[in-house]
């Protein structure tokens, strides 16, 4: 039951901070590229390279978001940090598994990455957007 359909950006994903929306967009683009290329290049090296790129974007984004939320004294800051940390740890594990060829198939890996980002943006990130009054209207 792995959902491997491309992620379609909509207004629902906006967190009301243009810089973060841009970064989320960039991350979704990488994930969609990974999803699109899985048929043609299912090799673990390719998956691992893409995850590597994704990790770099993700890391930069997590740092920016955490700094912003710290500055605003966001009430669920610790949950945000823990969630980001879980993604970092799991991605490292999955990269390692892909390199050692003990993977979980690339489909499972891609489904994890896709699912984590969609849920994280729509639930955790949208929560700070609402609580900090960043959304229009």
Residues that bind Fe ion (CB under 5 A): 65, 125
Asked if residues 8 and 114 have their Cβ atoms less than 8 Å apart, the reply is no
Q: Cβ 77 to Fe ion, closest distance in Å?
A: 10
DSSP states of 14-78:
--S-HHHHHHHHHHHHHHHHHHHHTTT---HHHHHHHHHHHHHHHHHHHHHHHHHHHHTT-TTHH
If the CB atoms of residues 38 and 61 are measured against Fe ion, the closer one turns out to be: 61
| Closest residue to Fe ion using C-beta atoms | 125
Q: Nearest to residue 114, comparing CAs of 82, 134, 90?
A: 90
Six token digits for residue 36: 């699109």
- Kindly state the smallest distance separating residue 100's Cβ from Fe ion, in Å: 29
Identity of the residue, 44 or 65, whose beta carbon is nearer to Fe ion in the bound complex:
65
Kindly state the smallest distance separating residue 130's Cβ from Fe ion, in Å.
14
| CB of 23 or CB of 48, closer to Fe ion | 23
Rounded least distance, CB 34 to Fe ion, Å? 18
Query: CA-to-CA distance for 118 and 3, rounded, in angstroms?
Result: 11
User: Which of 15/98 has CB closer to Fe ion?
Assistant: 15
């Amino acid at each position: 039951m792995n959902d491997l359909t491309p992620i379609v950006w909509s207004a629902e994903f906006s967190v009301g901070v243009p810089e973060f929306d841009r970064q989320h967009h960039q991350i979704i683009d990488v994930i969609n590229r990974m999803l699109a290329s899985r048929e043609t290049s299912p090799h673990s090296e390719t998956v691992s390279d893409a995850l590597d790129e994704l990790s770099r974007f993700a890391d930069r984004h997590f740092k920016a978001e955490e700094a912003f939320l710290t500055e605003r004294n966001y009430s669920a800051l610790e949950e945000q940090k823990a969630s980001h940390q879980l993604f970092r740890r799991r991605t490292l594990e999955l990269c390692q598994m892909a390199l050692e060829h003990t993977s979980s198939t690339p489909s499972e890996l891609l489904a994890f990455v896709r699912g984590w980002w969609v849920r994280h943006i729509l639930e955790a990130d949208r929560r700070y957007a609402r609580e900090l009054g960043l959304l229009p209207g």
